[in-house]
Structure 1
Amino acid sequence: MLTTKSVTGNLPKSSELNQRLNNKTLMLSSRQMGWNGILVEQYQNLPAPAEKELSALSTHWLILPGHPGHLHWKFDDRLRESIFQKGDSLLVPAGQSGYWRCQNSKSSQTELHIHLQPELVEQVTQASEMDTERLDLVNHFCKQDLHLQHIAMLLLAELCSDGMMGQLYVESLTQVLVIHLLRHYSKSAQIITSENRSLTHAQLQQAIDYIHTHLNRDLSLAEIAEVINISPTYFASLFKRATGISPHQYVIQQRVERAKSLLSKTDLAIADIALQVGFSSQSHLTQQFKRLTGMTPKQVR
């Protein structure tokens, strides 16, 4: 079984992106948040025409404009024209150069850029048992994809909250995003399923014991999967098959249960309990506590 490690390096530098985004102002970035294999940035798009020769990037580049516009683009020596609407997306695979000319709307708008390291995509591909001979992502422009939009908006919400949900949540979203792109935007569209595979009782118990022991930490998929020596993506799918919920959802449930116990058995301040069970703040605890129990921590106490 494959054990994947954290992907480091190779994310585009700020100076490299600034050269190709000279009509945009950076508003938010995950660059300093330590997210593994992914860079998420939100830009304000100035109401001016943009024309650019695009040198090849070392990452897969996903763009969600969030505003209408007119796009001329050229890849593989073919010039094409598209009208894009809010909700459309654009994907430029790593290593591909090209050209585009874009006429934006008259008012300033925001757009979301997501960069994925090819090493991360390859790891997810191998762990999902996809056909590695045809894993290459391909260009796509102005395609409506509500599922892709939903994943991207969840990543943006996590960026806006300064990483409130934690590393495990971001890794889960990233892997869902990569698998979605591989299923719908690559030369290979089929996954070899592993219906007959499952975690052994010992593996599941070992993973659960590790989660319970380290609830107060910002757990990651890679960290938990390493305990039973399998890949993070493989672990996530098998854990959900065994328990009915994702690792992230399970961790949240256990944190709420432990908080419930501490609220009834101790006089600790709610803010201290939140940190002790692994939530980033009292408000984060209250949000998840009310979602799962229908009450606030104060009401329980």
Structure 2
Amino acid sequence: MASNPLNSLELCQRFNKPLILSSRQMNWSGILVEQCQSPVSTYEVELPALSDHWLSLHLGNSTSLIQKRGDRRHESILHEGDNLFIPAGQPSYWCQDKSGITCSPLFICLKPELIQQVAEASDMDSNRFEFMHCFGQQDSQLHQIGTLLFAELRSGGVMGKLYAESLAQVLVIHLLRHYSTLTQPIASQNNSFTRIQLQQAIDYIHTYLSRDLSLAELASVVNISPTYFASLFKQEMGISPHQYVIRQRVEKAKLMLSKTDLAIADIALQVGFSSQSHLTQQFKRFTGMTPKQVR
């Protein structure tokens, strides 16, 4: 067993799959997303138990695959959008018995600590449920979340850690609801921020608007869990923390466009966007105009 708890690079090596993209340098909390190139030749591999939960989304050509986990053997044809889910601590066997077929699966590794954090914030006992294997099935909602994470991976993390980590929270809740032995519904949070806590979070966002804010960072300001924070913030403000941050960046950029002579690219960086094109994209989405039109 590898010592690195999010070692999907070793997964690629075990399968002899070259790594194409990785979120390692983006430092997303609790989640690692990577894309690999599947070999065109027949392969057979036994994979030891992983310390993290592993989700594989099939992208590309349809291919046949034989899987074994424990005493269960499953032979299937994987199609675009099919997902495979392997809970932490579960060894597995894989065999692709047709050559000449290429695909580029998306690997998503989730730390058990993230699962526990989301479960506890939803009033669940993380020791009283288990995740279940998924040998390959279509799940449109899961595929949509995976597609959004994939787009963010390909962009180089243009939307920032807050966006990726918010998607990770949504992904975990979906897995808990549909891929676990959980019998009770996930509790909704009926509590609310105090006025002081909400103002503290908002003040922090405005103070560090240019920073690549993360969900954990914002939650730590009011000393609650990231999942709880995201839920309560949306409950109070009507939009997610990520949407609020983007909106405030656009508003600040609008003010700077009218009050300063700074270049648009410099304004973009000063308000927290990764580039001028990212500012333009979000600016047009919120105002219907481009920064150049406003100036």
Query: How would you bin the TM-score normalised by the shorter chain?
Result: over 0.9
Correspondence for 1:4: none
1:32 and 2:20 correspond: no
8 Å contact from structure 1 (residues 58, 95) kept in 2: yes
Match of 1:249 among 233, 243, 247: 243
1:278 and 2:272 correspond: yes
Which runs of 5 or more residues in structure 1 are unaligned?
Answer: 1-8
Correspondence for 1:53: 46
SS in structure 1 opposite 2:171? helix
8 Å contact from structure 1 (residues 10, 59) kept in 2: yes
SS in structure 1 opposite 2:97? strand
**Deviations 1:126-173 (Å, cap 9, x if unpaired)?**
112224233321111111111111111111111111111111111111
Percent of pairs with identical residues: 64
Correspondence for 1:102: 96
Any residues of structure 2 matched to 1:140-155 within 5 Å, and which?
A: 140-155=134-149
1:65 and 2:64 correspond: no
Correspondence for 2:222: 228
Runs of 4+ in 1 over 3 A off after TM superposition: 103-107, 189-192
Correspondence for 2:231: 237
Q: Which amino acid aligns with 1:162?
A: G
Q: Which amino acid aligns with 2:225?
A: S
8 Å contact from structure 1 (residues 39, 114) kept in 2: yes
Correspondence for 1:176: 170
Displacement after TM superposition at 1:191 (Å): 3.5
Correspondence for 1:12: 7
Any residues of structure 2 matched to 1:97-246 within 5 Å, and which?
A: 97-103=91-97, 106-246=100-240
8 Å contact from structure 2 (residues 67, 94) kept in 1: yes
Which runs of 5 or more residues in structure 2 are unaligned?
Answer: none
The 10-residue stretch of structure 1 (280-289 or 199-208) with the greater mean CA deviation from structure 2: 199-208
8 Å contact from structure 2 (residues 63, 101) kept in 1: no
CA RMSD for the aligned pairs? 1.8
SS in structure 1 opposite 2:41? coil
SS in structure 2 opposite 1:134? coil
8 Å contact from structure 1 (residues 239, 247) kept in 2: yes
Cα distance in 2 between the residues matched to 1:114 and 1:213: 33
Normalising by structure 2, report the TM-score.
0.94
8 Å contact from structure 1 (residues 130, 191) kept in 2: no
SS in structure 1 opposite 2:242? helix
SS in structure 2 opposite 1:110? coil
